[in-house]
Amino acid sequence: DIQMTQSPSSLSAAVGDRVTISCRASQFISSYLNWYQQKPGKAPKVLIYGASSLHSGVPSRFRGSGSGTDFTLTISSLQPEDFATYYCQQSYSNLKYTFGQGTKLEI
């Protein structure tokens, strides 16, 4: 199975900061990379799909980039509602869509 590795595991930042979260796949996955946001006690929500496409309704301060094995999620100006845990997910392997271990973004 394809392994996904995120860094860092946790991150402290302030409102207005620009933050970057990295995700690396254990093998080539083209642009089949998604990003999710999860808040405590809630189901995850998709932010970015296909490495760089913004899901409907997601603010433009979220940006995804990368291809092949290395990917990045950037939040350009943190808002209070952005403090959450973020997961990358590969969707290259036929329906075996594995996740990274998550990055907890804290104030």
Partner 1 sequence: EVQLVESGGGLVQPGGSLRLSCAASGLSFSIYAMSWVRQAPGKGLEWVSAISGSDGGTYYADSVKGRFTISRDHSTNTLYLQMNSLRAEDTAVYYCANVGPQYYFNYWGQGTVVTVSS
Residue ranges that bind partner 1, judged by CB under 8 A: 1, 32, 34, 36, 38, 43-46, 49-50, 53, 55, 85, 87, 89, 91, 94-102
Residue 104 to residue 87: CA distance in whole angstroms:
9
Structure tokens at 103: 């990055």
- Residue with smaller CB distance to partner 1, 34 or 69: 34
Q: Residue 20: phi, psi to the nearest 5?
A: -135, 135
In the complex with partner 1, which residue's Cβ is closer, 45 or 76?
Answer: 45
CB closer to partner 1, 17 vs 58: 58
